[in-house]
Every structure is written in C-alpha cells, then in structure tokens.
Amino acid sequence: MGIVSSMGRGVDQHSNALANRQSGIKDVKRVGGLPHAYWGGELDQSVAEILATAGINNLPPNLSRSTALALSAIQDLMSSVNFSDGKGSGLINATSVGGMDTTEQEYLTDRDGWDYSSFLQHNLGQINDQILNYYDWNLYNTTLSTACSSAANALMLGARMIRSGKYDRIIVGGTDALSNFTMRGFESLMIYDRELCRPFDDTRTGLNLGEGAAYVLLESEESAAKSGNTPLAQLTGWANANDAFHATASSPDGKGAVLSMSQALACAGLKASDIDYINAHGTATPNNDLSESVAIQQVFDEVPPFSSTKGFTGHTLAAAGAIEAVFSVMSIRQGKIWPNLNFTTPLNETGLSPQTELMDCEVKNVLSNSFGFGGNNSTVIFSAL
Amino acid sequence: MVFIHATSAISVQAEQNQLQPVTFPCAINAPNYRDCISPANMRRMGNAVKMGVWSALEAGASTDEPIIVGSGMGCLKDSEKFLESLRGAPDIVSPTPFIQSTHNTASGQIALNLSNHQYNITHVQNGISFEVALMDGMLWINSGQSAVLVGGVDEKTPLLSEIGAALGLSQEQLDFFSEGAAFAKISKEVSECELVECEVFANREDAIAFAEGLNAHMMLVGNSGPMAHELPSFKGETLNFNDFCGLHMSNSAFALHMAFLILTQKTTKLGQPDSVCIFNQYLDRSFGVTYCRKH
C-alpha cells in the first residue's frame, strides 16, 4: 500500500495521525485565486517538494499536482512490493481533478500571456501516461472518473479483471489535488463548510475538500506466491449501483447505497452481521450523511461501529476510495477502528452515532462506501486473511 | 463469446447508414434531441451529454444493463464555462456548469433518463478511452452479464483549436478536429456480428504485431490524438476512419459503429469483408486494437 495526504506520507504516519486524532485539515494556502479563507486537507508542499520527498527526479517541472501526488504514493507502494510490468499486469487509476490545477493557474491569468503548453497536463488520462513514462512500464492501463466514487470503482475493476484470470497483478488507486475549480464548485452548491467539517453530526453543513493519493497492489493468489509479496488483506466484495435519482444529490431512501452495500455483501458471501466496521463515505454534506445513514439502517439490523475519516483528510474526491481502502486494511491489520472527528450530536432523523474514540478490537471485515455525482454508489469489502 | 446487436452514432456523416468520406472541416449532423430527451432534462445538458444520451438511447439502452462510457476529455464546454466564471474570484458563481463538468455526467444522465440502477462507469484514458470501456463491457459479458451498453463521447470547443494552433498543429490537422458520440449494445446472445477481441497497448510494435496476427480482411486505421506519427500500413484493404468521423479522443467508438455497419452490410459501398480490425493510435503512447467478424 502507498499513501500520501495532508496527514503525511506512508502507512505509519497515517496510522499515528489517526490514532492521535491529528487532522490534516488546515487553512488552505497553496490554491490561488480564492475569494476568502477555506479549510482543506492540504499537503504543505509544492509539486517539486512532493516529488523530492518521494525521491523522484528528472521530471518536467510543469507536472500537475495530482500527478505528483500519484507518483509519490506509487513510489511509496513500490518501496514495499515486488511488481513487474508486461503481460498480466495493469494499472487502474482514478481521478476527477486531473491537471485542473495547472489549467486553472493559466486560465485565470490574463489571456494574452497564456503559456498554452500548461494545458497539456489537463486531461485525466495524462497522469497514467506520466506514470508509465516515469517507470517505463508497458502494461494495460485505464483511468476511471466517476467523481467521488472513482477509486472504489478502480478497486472493483481491478478485482474483476484478476478474477477473470486474464490479469495477475494490478495497481489500483486514485489521486486528486486541491483546486480552485473544485473548491469553488462545492461552495457554489452551498456544501463547503466554512467551519471544520462534521461528518454524521446534526449541525453539519458541508464538506472540506482535501488532497492526496493512495494505491494498493491487487494480486491473485498464484501471483502472490510467485512475487513473494506478503498479502495484507483480501478484497472480498465489490459493487457499483446507480442511484438514478439526481445529478448531484443522493435519494432520501438511499436506494443506490442500499443496492451497492447489499450487492457487495453478496459478492463477498458475507452477512451484514459479519461486518465489524463501516468506513463510511460521510462527507459531512447534509444530503450524503442522511442518505447514507438511512441506507446503513436498511442494510444492517444492528449497525456496527462506523466512522467517516473525512474529518482527518478532508474529502479527497477521486482519491477518497483508495485512501479509505488503505485505512480499512490498516484497521484489519492493527485491530483498530478509527475515530470520527468533530461529532457531538446524532442526526435527528436516524439517531445514529459514529465511533468517536479510537477503539481496539478484532476487525475481520470492513465495508467501505464511496458515493459520487451522477448517482454513482460503490462499496468495497476488505477481509482478514 | 460477445456479439454486437446494435450501434448508433452522432457524427459528421449525413446519413445514419450509408457512410462516406467527408471533407473537413465539417460540422456534426446533430439529430433532433427533443425526439427522445424531455425539454426539462435537456435544459441543463451540455453538448457532450446530449450527444451521449441520444446515442445511448438510439443504440437501445435499457434499464437493466450496465452503462459504460469512454470519454477522453469529458464535458469541456462546461469546464470552460465554470473556469470563466471564476475569473476575478467573485463571491457567487452558478453551480450548473460545475455539476455538468464532471466526466461521468453523460453516463449518469443516461442512467437517470432510464432509471437504470446498474453498474455505471466512465473511462477517461485519453485516446484509448473507448477501448478500455469496451474491454470492461466484454469482461461483464464474459462473466455472465447478458447485455451491456458501451459508448464513447467527446465534444470540441474553440479553445481546443486555439490550444492546438498555439502548440503548432497545422490548419489541415485543426480542420479534422471533430466531436461525436457512438454507442454499441453488446450481448452474449448471438447476432450476425461477433466482437472477438479488444486490447490496448502501450507499445507500438506490440500493437502492430497483435493486429497483424488477426489477419482481418479489412483494416480501419486512424488517430485519436494529434496526427504526429505516421499510421502503420497493413496488408489488405485499409480505410482511414478519420476520413469518416474526424479527430477526437473517442472516435474509435465511431470506428466500431462503422465496422458493424460494414459487416452487417447496412452500409454497402465500403466492401464486403468477413472481418474488420480497428487500429487506433493515440500519439506514440497508446494503441487500441478491436476485431469483429461476421457470424
């Protein structure tokens, strides 16, 4: 597993920050052209510094921030696994911001002075092209973009491709940088909280965005036996179902979320009561947290401990499902349930309270939700070996 | 085995079935979207979304099949519109172009139009976005799903041409810039056109060797990115699909539509091959090879 976010770089830094309630959300400094102060999960490094910290040299200086974050997380992953390209190998990335940070830096300046080459980083698929170029990899690769559920869908596609037998080892994950575009976008929807975000709290008014990237190596059993990599957990369940209710909002009855959680449980061959921890999507928007809570109550007769880790990272959009996949596997490996920050009052409608203190217990199965614009609802389930 | 049951396209072609080479620049032949999209739904849709929804419905999208879309650039026009509104950091901006700018807007709107709760995904891998989407669809069929809707959609904007010109593309290349949508309904049920292979490659020699090994009667070759590298030449009859649909990042979806019309003889003037191989080149970085034959 490889991970970078406003909380740090690598599994150990994230584990310590989660256990010690150290959020990465702070006053955003590096995004230009904003009209006022914003809270966000910002990594306090420039693109050059992100790459240098990861020991990556000799790349052009105009790389997008999402690309730099992706390379940093993949470099972290590569330091702990044996991975080779070629037949049977793949890379499935997820992003929604892509090179928007480089695009907007140029676009929002005086048009007469534009350096048009900045726009070459814009496309979402450019990140994979840069990764393949840096590692000199020749392999199947694609990029998925389904807004905030993108990385969960990358995990699901990777699992399906390995199960088909055509692929043995696929790196899956996602990356997204903070950008003026997305921060102002969520603010225009009136769901960017001017205070710290409060997932599952009755007083919540919206999210804080964050940035980061995370990747995991999915391998078949045969491939792991050959590569010598030590398996950390199993990806046992996955599902993607469309809410088909509204372009941006979730349905009040959480239909898509109920479908994705139920189908993922069926895929894993597990009962709802087998789940020890739900790493919720929990963006802290009024709509998501209510819809997700209602859906959880429909799927689980007895709701297991659940929390949203968005209070630590901010909502990292297309990277969220990957960052939370790493948190889910860490939960299983370390026997810990991560706290939900900034919670005081349960939702009036459901009365559900998330886990607010770090809890030590045996964790065998973790269910992780990621929901996005376009009615996209995805759930993945991780199980102990 | 995977079969193609229907295809549809919005493109520069004047007629739905009788395809012919086009002189560029050429605008797309837009259908009357109101025939199948309600005015209330259409009001906020950008061009890419309208093209995608229309084309998906035309190919027979239904409520119970996965929807898989490939798009190299997504909803460019709304992305530009939202960026433009951010100039000077005003306090209030409209959320509509932001909502519409998301890359999965088309796939989401198709599902919303049909109340489709199935798998819904958008692949965005530059010029091979459609091929990776098609591979995802074939994987569904090969793992038991009965039918899947797969398509590609991309739109053009004046800024795209402005960037192309500033970065040194010739006027002839800029003239080829186009847009469009094309969808295919694929299924495990037998039809007269079998979809045998779809693979992507990061290496030119691997892609050419794979395409040659298929020994197709007809080759459809073309670029999905700037025409900076020569297309390989193959044995047998070869058509350049750029001559029929222009240049955009998911134009190989149109090439599959073209292959289907040729193999099922709905278009009659382009030969009568028993098999067609599509070779799609994106710069010198990514390649897609898709192979269909009569069944």
Tell me the pLDDT band of B206, cut-offs 50, 70 and 90: very high
Q: What is the pLDDT of residue A249?
A: 87
What is residue A135's predicted lDDT score, i.e. its pLDDT?
Answer: 97
Which candidate in B42, B101, B123, B197 is best for mutational testing of the A interface (most A CBs within 10 A)?
Answer: B123
Closest-CA distance, A29 to chain B, in angstroms, reads 15
Choose among B90, B91, B200: nearest Cβ to A140: B200
- Asked whether A215 and A83 are in contact (CB, 8 A), the reply is no
* Torsion B62-B68-B69-B75 (CA) sign: positive
Note the pLDDT tens digit of each residue in B248-288: 999 999 999 999 999 999 999 999 999 999 999 999 999 99
What is the band of B295 on the pLDDT scale with cuts at 50, 70, 90? Answer: very high
Q: How high is the pLDDT of residue A339? A: 98
The larger pLDDT score, comparing residue B40 to residue B119, is at B119
Q: What one-character-per-residue DSSP string does B189-219 give?
A: S--SEEEEEEEEESSHHHHHHHHHHT--SEE
Find the mean pLDDT for residues B227-234: 91
Among A129, A35, A140, residue whose Cα is nearest residue A86? A140
Cβ-based burial of A163 (10 A; exposed 0-12, middle 13-18, buried ≥19): middle
Task: DSSP for A219-236, please give it.
Answer: E-HHHHHHH-PPP--EEE
Q: Is the pLDDT of residue B39 over 90?
A: no
The ipTM of this complex is: 0.97
Tell me the CA distances in angstroms from B204 to A111, B211, B214, B240, B288, one per residue in order. Answer: 37, 11, 16, 18, 10
Specify whether A361 is catalytic: no
Secondary structure (3-state) at B57: helix
pLDDT of residue B38: 84
In chain B, CATH 3.40.47.10 sits at 2-193
Q: Of these residues, A14, A148, A197, A267, which one is catalytic?
A: A148
Give the pLDDT score at A61: 77
pLDDT higher than threshold 90 for residue A211: yes
- Nearest chain B residue to A110, by CA: B87
In chain A, % of residues over pLDDT 90: 95
pLDDT digits (tens, 9 = 90+) for A93-119: 999 999 999 999 999 999 999 999 999
Specify the pLDDT at position B129.
98
Give pLDDT, residue A345: 98
Confidence of residue B236 (pLDDT cuts 50, 70, 90): confident
| Chain A, nearest residue to B87 by Cα | A108
**Is residue A148 annotated as part of the catalytic site, yes or no?**
yes
Q: What is the length of chain B?
A: 295
Q: In angstroms, rounded to a whole number, what is the distance separating the alpha carbons of residues A64 and A62?
A: 6
Q: Is the minimum CB–CB distance between B27 and chain A shorter than 8 Å?
A: no
In this predicted model, what pLDDT tens digit does every residue of A35-71 receive, in sequence order? 999 999 999 999 999 999 999 988 887 899 999 999 9
Looking at the predicted structure, is the pLDDT value of residue B294 above 80? yes
Q: Identify the pLDDT of residue B104.
A: 95
Nearest to B102 among A139, A244, A373 (CB): A373
In chain B, the percentage of residues whose pLDDT exceeds 90 is 92
As a whole number of angstroms, the distance between CA A218 and CA A170 comes to 5
Q: Who's near A291: CB < 8 A, 6+ residues apart?
A: A250, A251, A252, A253, A254, A257
Q: What residue ranges define each of the domains in chain A, with the CATH number in brackets? A: 2-227 (3.40.47.10), 234-383 (3.40.47.10)
Provide the pLDDT for residue A113: 93
Q: What is the pLDDT of residues A243-278, one digit of tens each?
A: 989 888 899 999 999 999 999 999 999 999 999 999
Taking the C-alpha atoms of residue A380 and residue A384, their distance in angstroms, rounded to an integer, is: 14
Please name the member of A163, A164, A189 whose beta carbon is closest to the beta carbon of B95: A189
Ordered DSSP codes for B233-282: P-SSEEEETHHHH-B-TTTHHHHHHHHHHHHTTSS-TT---SEEEEEEEE
pLDDT value at position B284? Answer: 94
- CA-angle at A124, arms to B12 and A258, nearest 5°: 100
Looking at the complex, does the CB of residue A283 fall below 8 Å from at least one CB of chain B? no
- Helix, strand, or coil here: A110? coil
pLDDT tens digits along B154-175:
999 999 999 999 999 999 999 9
Q: Which residues of A touch B100 (CB under 8 A)?
A: 247
Rounded mean pLDDT, A149-178: 98
Residue B228 pLDDT: 81
Residue B127: what pLDDT? 98
Residues 13-42 of A with CB under 8 A from B: 33-35
Q: pLDDT digits over B69-98, tens only? A: 999 999 999 999 999 999 988 888 999 999
pLDDT surpassing 90 at residue A284: yes
Q: What is the band of A348 on the pLDDT scale with cuts at 50, 70, 90?
A: very high
Average pLDDT over residues A78-104: 97
Is the CB of residue A138 less than 8 Å away from at least one CB of chain B? yes
* Cα–Cα distance for residue pair B7/B278, rounded to 1 Å: 16
Kindly state the average pLDDT of the residues A73-86.
Answer: 97
Mention the CATH class of domain B2-193. Answer: alpha beta
**Choice among A100-109, A120-129, A146-155, B37-46 with the minimum mean pLDDT:** B37-46
Name residues 154-183 of chain A within 8 A of B (Cβ): 157, 160-161, 163-164, 180-181
As a whole number, the mean pLDDT across chain A is 97
> Could you tell me which chain A residue has the CA closest to the CA of B285?
A129
CB contacts under 8 A, B 194-223 vs A, are: 200-203, 206
Burial class (CB in 10 A: 0-12, 13-18, 19+), B146: exposed
Catalytic residue among A14, A246, A281, A361: A281
